[in-house]
Amino acid sequence: MKKNVSLNVNMLTRVEGHGHIVIDVRDGVLEKAQLQIIEAPRFFEAMLQGRSIFEAQHITSRICGICACGHSLASIQAAEDAIGFSPGEQTLQLRRLLLHMENLDSHILHVYMLVLPDLFGVKSFMGLLPEHEEAVRRALRMKKSCNDVCDILVGRHVHPISCVVGGFTKLPDVRQLEQIHQLLSALRSDLAATVELFRQLEFPDFTRETEYVGLVSDDPEYPLLQGDIGSSDGVRRVKQDYRAVTNEFMVRHSSAKHARLSRSSYAVGALARFNLNHTKLHAAARDVAEKINLKAPCHNPYLNSAAQLVECVHCSEDAIMLVEELLAAGIDQREAIVVGVNEGGRIPVQAGSGVGAVEVPRGLLFHHYEIDAKGVIQRANCVIPTGQNLQNIEDDMAKLVPEILARSDEDITLALEMLVRAYDPCISCSTHFLRVDFVGH
């Protein structure tokens, strides 16, 4: 069949940020499959230049309201790497806990509010209310619990207040840790119900083998906050070499850069992490993977949402374990710090360069700062997970469209929208960091 298809999905909905899908098929031949990124530029690197390294977390948290805690943690890690500061064990445990809450919260938002409507054939989360009110209530309740934990831990989930370079400006006391433990334990039954719900739903069937990139390590722990950069094609580099992994390049139809490693594209995110590190997941999470029939290596991008569900259980179980460890050891309140913009030079600063590499909800996130001897930022660079996934999404679209060409335009559009949504793209994040003059300077 020689078919012409010209699709232009303006302002993709139920994704974070602004993007278009453009498909052009002439006489049955695919000529164009693009995810156009039209987010208004905000110039974060320019904002950072000339500001104190102690302000970097505050500013870069504002790249994204959804993954503000993830950006904060990557920013802090890069800043501490640059000034040569090593955080203590308690600080690291609390940061791990915060990252778990970030991944859990964001995954719940994604699987329920953005993905579930497609699986039930309605247009939005609100459309679920008439027939699936219990699921809506459960999602809102779970999100609220994640938020309540973040409120205790860092003041709030959107733009956390107390996690800064050097540690935490306020530490939870025993009563608050017990509250967190209660909130997390109460999540278990809702998570089980979520798994049951998704077990009965069917994701679209599509496969395309690609390279998966994420943190890897030799420790038994599922690496989210620490590790080297690894890939399913056998690449392994230290985080400071991130440029050799991301190989970013600019394309005209996207105000966010694209990336590639061993092939034409690679993928980051929950599915990449699952494929690389599934043996290190908490046993309860591995059970969930078995229940929903997710097996590594999985090459169906639609199942990124399933991998997120598996991670939800891992994150909540590991978070509960962390809180129990903290409760057993007790929190040392003397570690609470006063920093401001480091008036009086409480934290020693030196000129240098530092990289943060953190597994945030949508995949591996890099922050990189160069500072002078006073701690003033000279250059900044961030490589965002969604940016790294863009080329991979377009490669998926290029394989998918010819396979489903016999369907109606409406069905093709829905399949493509669902594909893009499966990656949980954070478009406003991905556009804010583009630079072309940094390499090899």
Partner 1 sequence: MSRPKVAFFDLACCEGCQLQVANLGEELLDILGRIELVEFREIMSENWPGRYDIAFVEGSVVNDEAEERLLEIRQRSDILIAYGSCATIGGINGIKNRRPIAEVQHAVYGERIDWFPARPTRALHHLVRVDYSIPGCPVYPPELIKVIKAALAGLPYVVPDYAVCVECKFNENVCMYDKGVTCLGPVTRAGCNSWCINHGNICYGCRGLVSNPNQAGAKEVLRRYRLDPDRIVDKMTMYNAAMER
Do 33 and 26 contact (CB within 8 A), yes or no?
no
β-strand pairing of 5-9 with 228-231: unpaired
Residue ranges that bind partner 1, judged by CB under 8 A: 11, 13-17, 40-47, 49, 51-52, 55, 58-59, 62-66, 68, 109, 113-114, 117, 123-126, 136-137, 140-141, 143-144, 147, 154-159, 161-162, 164, 168-170, 250, 252, 255, 336, 338-341, 343-344, 428, 433-437
**How many whole angstroms separate alpha carbon 239 and alpha carbon 351?**
19
Task: Give min distance, CB of 63 to partner 1, in A.
Answer: 6
**How many whole angstroms separate alpha carbon 326 and alpha carbon 320?**
10
Task: Give min distance, CB of 13 to partner 1, in A.
Answer: 4
Do 304 and 19 contact (CB within 8 A), yes or no?
no
Task: Give min distance, CB of 359 to partner 1, in A.
Answer: 20
Which residue number, 16 or 395, has a Cβ lying nearer to partner 1?
16
Please give the order of strands across the beta sheet that includes 377-383. 352-360, 363-371, 377-383
Q: What is the DSSP letter of 63?
A: T
Task: Give min distance, CB of 272 to partner 1, in A.
Answer: 24
Task: Give min distance, CB of 142 to partner 1, in A.
Answer: 9
Which residue number, 170 or 291, has a Cβ lying nearer to partner 1?
170
Which residue number, 114 or 419, has a Cβ lying nearer to partner 1?
114
Which residue number, 115 or 289, has a Cβ lying nearer to partner 1?
115
Strand partners, 333: none
Q: Which 3-state string (H, E, C) describes 127-173?
A: HHHHHHHHHHHHHHHHHHHHHHHHHHHHCCCCCCCCEECCEECCCCC
Q: What is the DSSP letter of 407?
A: S
Task: Give min distance, CB of 258 to partner 1, in A.
Answer: 14
Which residue number, 49 or 247, has a Cβ lying nearer to partner 1?
49
* Closest-CA residue to 310 (of 331, 300, 296): 296
Do 64 and 15 contact (CB within 8 A), yes or no?
no
Which residue number, 274 or 302, has a Cβ lying nearer to partner 1?
302
Task: Give min distance, CB of 145 to partner 1, in A.
Answer: 8
Which residue number, 284 or 414, has a Cβ lying nearer to partner 1?
414
Which residue number, 48 or 298, has a Cβ lying nearer to partner 1?
48
Task: Give min distance, CB of 420 to partner 1, in A.
Answer: 13
β-strand pairing of 163-164 with 352-360: unpaired
Provide φ and ψ at 164, rounded to 5°.
-135, 175
Do 101 and 69 contact (CB within 8 A), yes or no?
yes
User: Where are any strands of DSSP class E within 12-115?
Assistant: 19-26, 29-37
Task: Give min distance, CB of 286 to partner 1, in A.
Answer: 30
User: Where are any strands of DSSP class E within 173-329?
Assistant: 211-216, 228-231, 236-237, 266-267
Task: Give min distance, CB of 255 to partner 1, in A.
Answer: 5
**How many whole angstroms separate alpha carbon 275 and alpha carbon 273?**
5
Q: At what angle do helices 89-108 and 129-154 cross, to 10 degrees?
A: 160
Which residue number, 62 or 299, has a Cβ lying nearer to partner 1?
62
Do 17 and 429 contact (CB within 8 A), yes or no?
yes
Do 260 and 266 contact (CB within 8 A), yes or no?
yes
Which residue number, 184 or 229, has a Cβ lying nearer to partner 1?
184
Which residue number, 64 or 292, has a Cβ lying nearer to partner 1?
64
Task: Give min distance, CB of 287 to partner 1, in A.
Answer: 28
